[in-house]
Every structure is written in C-alpha cells, then in structure tokens.
Amino acid sequence: DENALAAYASQKAITKDGYQVEVGANIGTAADALYAVEQGAEGIGLLRTELVYMSEASLPDEERQFTLYRDIVQVMGNKPVIIRTLDIGGDKELSYLKIPKEMNPFLGYRAIRLCLDQKPLFITQLRAILRASAYGKVKIMFPMISGLEEWRIAKGIVEEVKEQLRAESSSFDEKIEVGIMVEVPSVAILAKQFAKEVDFFSIGTNDLVQYTLAVDRMNEKIDYLYDHFNPAIISLLQNVVNAAHAEGKFVGMCGGMAGDPKAVPLLLALGLDEFSMSATAIRKVKHTINQLELEKCQSLLADVLQMNTARDIRLKLESFGNENG
Ligand code: PEP
Ligand code: MG
C-alpha cells in the first residue's frame, strides 16, 4: 500500500543479496526534478530537453536554456543529470520550427538528424548544456543515433563547442561524459563497436521496440504487437549490456521497460547499471528490487533466454513476480 511504498523513496535499490543499482527519473523541468528527488530519484537518467523547447513560444536562446538546465542541475546537487539533446520530430512538433510533412516522420528528419543539419541550433544547445555542467554532474546524450559516422560528427561538434568556451574562458566540466541513446536496432546490433567510442549507453525501449518490431508506438490497432518482452528485444538488450560491460562502460535504460516491475528481475540479471523512469514509478521499482535475490533473477534469465514468444516470457515473469514480490 501507499504508506509501505512511501518508505522506499529514501531506500537504496538493493537486492536481498546485496546487489545495488541506480534508480533515476525521466524529467522535463526543475519542478519535475524536485518531485523526482522526493520520490527517491538518485539522478536524472533522461532530461527530455524537447519539453523545454515545446514550452516556449519561440526558439529558446542560449541564456534561456542555460538558466533552465542550471536550475535542474542545482536541484540535483551532486547527483548525475543526463541531458539529452533536442529530440524533436517523430510525434513531437515545434510550432516555430517548420519541419516539412513526411510520409514516415518516425523514420524521417528528427532528433540528431535535424540537429546535425541545423548546426547553429545544435551549437546553441550544446553551449547551454556545457555551461550548466559547471554547476553539477552533467552528462550529454544524443538521441536517435543510427550509425558510427553520425556519433562521431556529433561528438566532434561537442569538441568544437568546448574549444569555443575555452577561448572565451567560460567554465564547464572538462571531463563531461558524452553518450548515446540505444533506440535504433542498428546501434543495438553494433553495440560492440559503439561501446569502444562512447562514454555510456542509455537504452530507449520505447523506440527500440517500435523500430525492431516494425510496430508504430502510437497505433492502438496494433498495440498487441508492441511488447518489450518479445524475445528479439531481450536478445538485443543482452547484446547491448554485454558489449558495454566488455568495454567497462555504463549502461542504463530510460525507456518505459525500466519502470515495469515485471521487467525488473530480468533487467537486473542482464546487468543493467541504471533504471530511469517516470518519478511516479520509482518507489514501486525500489520496492520490487528490495524483494529480489540476484541469483534467482539469473536463473530466471537463463529460462527466459530459452523462450521463443513474448507470451511465454510474460507468463514466466508474472509467475516469478507472484512468488518473489
Ligand atoms: C525511448 O525511445 O525509449 C525514449 C526514452 O525516448 P522517447 O520516449 O522520448 O522517444
Ligand atoms: Mg526515443
């Protein structure tokens, strides 16, 4: 019940046999950050900066963005804040940024693709993020990366912006980490190559499921096919976590799967380092983790890896949840 759950806000996310992970929040504003801390967030696993842009009547300038990011970073104190660069397009529109109508907007001109095409807009945002990094523990994350060249170009622009700021004697965190969302199947498949170059991964299951299964995440008519327990997804997740760890890199998840209590035992066993979710899900997930034993989760994973349908996996996880919750 609510009272029992409330206690978990201030608890660690640690299994009965002492295995600990990080639990963070997905947010858009400083008010969200305050609420997330109250709910027990140990960091921000995803700051959706498009929510900042969407709440403005015109393109926010560097100063405006800097202030908003800095406020959030200050609310979080020393806790990590992963700031995702603009992820517009797909289902998210900006009235003041004209994007031509496309046949398949989710496969089109969006997110990092748009930012690399509109470099001044990207540079303004990176300057604001880097300047905010002087006030806490900021990491930069690119959305919708689909190939290594794209990652290298985006990372190169971060280096250019750092050079500008140095030349102006503006302060920023020289050791700032730069990572990517894993939400396009090509990246999940080539995770080994990406892991050699990026500082961290965060898996975006909302899009990864949509693109891997070719199921529009907004289309209710086919939502029975949209399932993060599809064995193809589990296989990709395993590949991504193993590839990251083989290179000693941190791997989190900020898609909806991270906040699904049924998925938690599986994700723990896979070795996910961080679970980031909407603030309202945090206490329940911490509670779930505290009832589990890693060893049992690992044998659950071994069983799940033998299964060939989402339905079998879901039933297995449901019965595991009932026995261990
Ligand atoms: C995702 O795709 O899983 C994700 C976290 O990003 P968004 O939901 O903003 O597309
Ligand atoms: Mg996404």
Q: What is the 3-state secondary structure of the chain?
A: CHHHHHHHHHCCEECCCCCEEEEEEEECCHHHHHHHHHCCCCCEEEEECHHHHHCCCCCCCHHHHHHHHHHHHHHHCCCEEEEECCCCECCECCCCCCCCCCCCHHHCCCHHHHHHHCHHHHHHHHHHHHHHHHHCEEEEEECCCCCHHHHHHHHHHHHHHHHHHHHCCCCCCCCCEEEEEECCHHHHHCHHHHHCCCCEEEECHHHHHHHHHCCCCCCHHHHHHCCCCCHHHHHHHHHHHHHHHHCCCEEEECCHHHHCCCCHHHHHHHCCCEEEECHHHHHHHHHHHHCCCHHHHHHHHHHHCCCCCHHHHHHHHHHHHHHCC
Query: Which of the four pLDDT bands, split at 50, 70 and 90, describes residue 195?
Result: very high
Give 233-277 pLDDT, tens digit per residue.
Answer: 999 999 999 999 999 999 999 999 999 999 999 999 999 999 999
The rounded Å distance from CA 202 to ligand 1 centre is: 10
Pocket of ligand 1 (CB under 6 A): 46, 48, 87, 183, 204-207, 254-255
What is the rounded average pLDDT of the residues 283-297?
97
* Residue 40: per-residue pLDDT: 97
CA of 204 to the centre of ligand 1 (A): 5
Residues 145-154: tens digit of each pLDDT: 999 999 999 9
Q: Is residue 91 very low, low, confident or very high in pLDDT (cuts 50, 70, 90)? A: confident
The ligand placed nearest to the CA atom of residue 209 is 1
Question: In this model, does residue 141 exceed pLDDT 80?
Answer: yes
Split at pLDDT 50, 70, 90, the class of 159 is: very high
**CA of 129 relative to ligand 2 center, distance in Å:** 20
Active site residue 254: yes
Average pLDDT over residues 196-225: 97
Q: Measuring from atom 8 of ligand 1, which residue has the nearest CA? A: 206
Mean pLDDT for the stretch of residues 104-110: 94
Spacing, Cα 322 to ligand 1 middle (Å): 29
Arithmetic mean of pLDDT, 281-307: 98
Alpha-carbon gap, residue 164 to 298, rounded angstroms: 48
Could you say which of 75, 129, 209, 254 is catalytic?
254
Interface predicted TM-score (ipTM) over 0.95: yes
Mutate to test the pocket of ligand 1, among 207, 209, 217, 276 (most ligand atoms within 8 A of CB): 207
From atom 7 of ligand 1, which residue's Cα is the shortest distance away?
206
Which atom in ligand 1 lies closest to the alpha carbon of residue 203? 3
Q: Which of 92, 183, 217 to mutate to test the pocket of ligand 1 (most atoms within 8 A of CB)?
A: 183
Question: What pLDDT is stored for residue 69 in this prediction?
Answer: 98
Atom 9 of ligand 1, residue of closest alpha carbon: 48
